[in-house]
């Protein structure tokens, strides 16, 4: 689907509502001022009784053990739907759309990533396993060299942050921010699939991160999170919900794995500890907000000034001396009070139309943080029913860089046009 700025401003009778949002968006963009706030508490109201979230209750983990979930449409039914759609040549559901989706997930598929310390997201250095000779020679030099001044790069937090961000951008990050690693955002436990093992995440005075039969151990000197956002393809998003749209989700996940693994190896090469994470180990959105990448929206997604909610987030936890960034405020909470566009576009009413609350609506919400709660059970149920993910709430958000107007989420569009 091709987008022009002329169409952003066009108002036709059958597209009036979207055009209203577009004009609203442009006005909002013009007056939007991104300002730094002194602490996360200026953006998040958090109860003192808040406790660390257990990954066991995250929806994908729950779908492996919680028999009470209304998730299960039988695989046979989904296969029948896929068969019908591909035979019909339904737009957005052709074999080339499914193939684009398959290719986009390739790196993720090849590297288990749901739980920490797996595949490319290993908590141990990757370079010792199999290296090109250049990296091997660097490692051999390191292991022979005893001069601690040479083994490690030293610098001020500002200098170290500068080179870290330069490397992250080189590996493909569109946005990078740094925050202190607040333990409240680290999962209390990992849920390790496919064996469904429940392991505590603890902080200890140890030299290296480790995993035992009972625990994941993070060294106590790991005090920073480097949080990175990867832009999603807005044109693919506008074809939500289809397998064609899911290609941008899969690509986001594959880039998350690539990016966090690459930055972790870079940090290890500098002589510091690095724990690469996709969605695992800690809650990405509060860390992203703390790092100044954006604010939390009604949709439960991170809204960035640069790309709206059309981003995927990954992070690396490290003991490098770094300069933390400040959270930013650019009017998201006030805008979301009146907008509700994501809630209107949700096929399962998983997004709240009401006010923010600290109450949990399901066991998959972490209570004690003032926010619009989403209902992840309803959301995932719709994904399972379709056999692919949905991105309606991302596609329609007026904070997107190129604002959504003709989207399958709200209008009749033609995904086949994406290929032209």
Judged by the rule CB under 6 A, the positions of this chain that interact with ligand SF4 are 297-299, 303, 335-336, 339-342, 345-348, 350-351, 374, 379, 382, 390-393, 396-399
DSSP 53: P
In terms of CB distance, is 219 or 286 closer to ligand SF4? 286
CB of 247 to ligand SF4, least distance (A): 16
In terms of CB distance, is 327 or 376 closer to ligand SF4? 376
CB of 305 to ligand SF4, least distance (A): 13
CB of 389 to ligand SF4, least distance (A): 7
- Half-sphere exposure of 100 toward its Cβ, with a 13 Å CA cutoff? 18
CB of 71 to ligand SF4, least distance (A): 13
Q: Residue holding tokens 């001396």?
A: 321
CB of 218 to ligand SF4, least distance (A): 31
In terms of CB distance, is 108 or 295 closer to ligand SF4? 295
- Provide the 10 A C-beta neighbour count for residue 333: 18
Rounded distance, CA 86 to CA 103, Å? 18
The tokens describing 75, both together, are 């695989």
In terms of CB distance, is 53 or 388 closer to ligand SF4? 388
CB of 93 to ligand SF4, least distance (A): 17
In terms of CB distance, is 209 or 294 closer to ligand SF4? 294
- Of 392, 167, 165, which is closest to residue 299 (Cα–Cα)? 392
- Strand residues in 154-223 grouped as ranges (E): 175-180, 189-192, 197-204, 210-211, 215-219
CB of 251 to ligand SF4, least distance (A): 17
By 3-state DSSP, what share of the chain in percent is helix, strand and coil, each rounded to 5? Answer: 40, 15, 45
H/E element, 228: strand 224-231
DSSP per position, 133-159: HHHHHHHHHHHH---HHHHS----HHH
Strand pairing partners for 180? 224
Q: Residue holding tokens 């749209």?
A: 245
In terms of CB distance, is 211 or 377 closer to ligand SF4? 377
In terms of CB distance, is 216 or 253 closer to ligand SF4? 253
Phi, psi of 104 (to 5 degrees): -65, -35
């Amino acid at each position: 689907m091709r987008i022009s700025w002329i169409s952003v401003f066009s108002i036709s009778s059958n597209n009036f509502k979207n055009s209203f949002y577009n004009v609203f968006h442009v006005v909002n963009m013009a007056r939007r001022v991104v300002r730094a706030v002194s602490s996360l508490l200026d953006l998040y109201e958090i109860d003192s009784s808040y406790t660390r979230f257990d990954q066991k209750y995250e929806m994908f983990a729950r779908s492996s053990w919680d028999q009470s979930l209304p998730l299960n449409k039988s695989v046979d039914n989904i296969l029948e739907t896929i068969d019908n759609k591909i035979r019909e040549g339904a737009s957005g559901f052709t074999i080339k759309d499914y193939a684009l989706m398959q290719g986009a997930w390739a790196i993720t598929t090849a590297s288990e990533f749901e739980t920490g310390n797996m595949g490319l997201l290993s908590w141990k250095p990757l370079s010792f396993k199999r290296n090109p000779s250049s990296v091997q020679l660097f490692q051999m030099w390191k292991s022979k060299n005893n001069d601690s001044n040479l083994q490690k790069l030293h610098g001020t937090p500002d200098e170290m942050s500068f080179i870290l961000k330069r490397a992250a951008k080189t590996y493909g990050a569109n946005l990078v921010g740094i925050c202190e690693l607040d333990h409240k955002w680290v999962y209390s436990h990992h849920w390790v699939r496919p064996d469904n093992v429940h392991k505590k995440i603890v902080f200890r005075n140890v030299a290296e991160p480790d995993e035992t039969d009972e625990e994941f151990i993070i060294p106590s000197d790991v005090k920073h999170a480097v949080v990175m956002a990867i832009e999603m393809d807005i044109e693919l998003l506008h074809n939500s919900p289809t397998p064609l749209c899911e290609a941008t989700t899969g690509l986001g996940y594959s880039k998350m794995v690539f990016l966090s693994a690459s930055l972790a190896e870079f940090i290890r090469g500098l002589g510091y500890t690095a724990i690469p994470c996709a969605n695992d180990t800690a809650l990405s959105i509060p860390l992203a907000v703390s790092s100044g990448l954006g604010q939390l929206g009604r949709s439960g997604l991170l809204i960035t000034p640069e790309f709206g909610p059309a981003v995927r987030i990954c992070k690396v936890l490290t003991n490098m001396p770094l300069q933390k960034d400040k959270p930013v405020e650019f009017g998201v909470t006030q805008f979301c009070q009146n907008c509700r566009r994501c809630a209107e576009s949700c096929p399962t009413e998983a997004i709240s139309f009401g006010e923010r609350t600290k109450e949990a609506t399901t066991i998959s919400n972490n209570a004690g943080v003032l926010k619009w709660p989403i209902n992840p059970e309803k959301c995932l149920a719709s994904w399972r029913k379709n056999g692919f993910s949905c991105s309606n709430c991302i596609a329609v958000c007026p904070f997107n860089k190129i604002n959504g107007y003709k989207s399958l989420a709200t209008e009749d569009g033609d995904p086949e046009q994406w290929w032209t």
